[in-house]
Structure 1
Amino acid sequence: MRQLLLGMEEAGLSLSSQQPGRMTRVSASALRGSLTEVIVSEGGAIQPMHLLPMLAQCNAHKRWLMWLSPHRPMNKSWLESMGLQHSPVIHLDLCNDTQLALCSKVLAAGNSHMIVEWQGELSNHERQIIRQQADQSGSHVVLIQRRP
């Protein structure tokens, strides 16, 4: 499956298939980061934790998978049920007052992809900051907003 919005490689190509000294074609979006926005309803069947395996598929560069959300701890059995027992996953507690600063700090490190359960309204300015930082760091960000 090709996921151009998430910056995955074209079908049939992978970084692991490269021979030493030989370049293969990789789409420009695979080298840059991206911002994808998802709206979920409170009682909906798809919840933010279900998106972590999708983000893991973007992980050709073996980055950490960060999950920023308020009071939603993970456990080992849940990660195993999602097929993520061997993926480096970190959950950070998120609050409305510091969420943009925390996102910026994680993206500045440039060593992870992340899911963010955004609290409150997301302004166009905040969206632009996250998009630019994701692009510059090569990180894929899935930003989730909950709606009733």
Structure 2
Amino acid sequence: MVMRQLSFTMSEPGLALSSALPVTADHAVSGSLTEMIVGESSAIQPMQLLPLLAQCNAQQRWLMWLSPQRTLNKQWLESLGLGKSPVIHLDLCADTQLALCTKVLAAANSHLIIEWQGELTREERLQLRQQAQRSGSHVVLIQRLP
């Protein structure tokens, strides 16, 4: 089983996200952006959506979960059928979330679940959608409402 949980800031040199497969005309892959709005007391937890991304993973990409201060553990991943899938959790904060998402999508080597913090502008949504399509990444964007 491959599992990594990393705390990430935009200036941290230890995480290289540049191992992307080049997207060429011969290898054009179209990504997507799916949005979900969930209540704070919702029975749906973002981590439960990782198997959904695994089903979209014909290109054998990393599965990334970007969320604030949540943790993954082996038992959860195994119970979701992801014991052998490459999963990374990155701690997400509101101040750098757009820059982090942009960097991860530019690498074009993963599918993402993003637990967005705060308000999402029309421009940010469009930027994420375009980057997902260009990189061939499937993105599930989750917003929590009280």
Superposition TM-score, scaled by structure 1 size: 0.79
**Percentage identity across aligned positions?**
74
Task: Give me the whole-angstrom Cα distance separating, in 2, the residues matched to 1:42 and 1:49.
Answer: 14
- Alpha-carbon RMSD across the aligned residues, in angstroms, is 1.0
Matched, 1:41 2:39: yes
The answer for the alignment partner of 1:139 in structure 2 is 137
Q: Helix, strand or coil for the counterpart of 1:77?
A: helix
AA in 2 matched with 1:68 = L
- What one-letter code is carried by the residue in structure 2 that aligns with 1:109? A
Indicate conservation of the 8 Å contact 2:29/2:134, yes or no.
no
In the TM superposition, residue 44 of structure 1 has moved relative to its aligned partner by 1.0
Are 2:58 and 1:54 aligned?
Answer: no
Query: Gaps (5+ residues) in structure 2?
Result: 1-27
Q: Of residues 30, 33, 37 in structure 2, which corresponds to 1:32?
A: 30
Q: What does residue range 8-23 of structure 1 map to in structure 2 within 5 Å?
A: none
What stretches of structure 1 move > 6 A for 4+ residues in a row?
A: none
The one-letter code of the counterpart of 2:33 is: L
Equivalent residues, number: 119
Higher CA-based Rg: 1
Deviation at 1:109, TM superposition (A): 0.3
Q: Paired residue for 1:24?
A: none
> Higher relative CO (CA 8 A, sep ≥ 6), structure 1 or 2?
2
Alignment of 1:23-102 (within 5 A): 31-102=29-100
Secondary structure in structure 1 of the residue aligned to 2:120? coil
In structure 2, the residue corresponding to 1:31 is in which secondary structure?
Answer: coil
Offset at 1:83? 0.6
Q: Which amino acid aligns with 2:94?
A: N
Output the CA distance in 2 between the equivalents of 1:60 and 1:117: 24
Deviations 1:35-65 (A, max 9, x none): 0000111111111111111111000000000
Q: Deviations over 1:68-105 (max 9, x none)?
A: 00000101111001110010000000000000000000
Alpha-carbon distance in structure 2 between the residues aligned to 1:125 and 1:90: 27
Q: Which residue of 2 is the match for residue 19 of structure 1? A: none
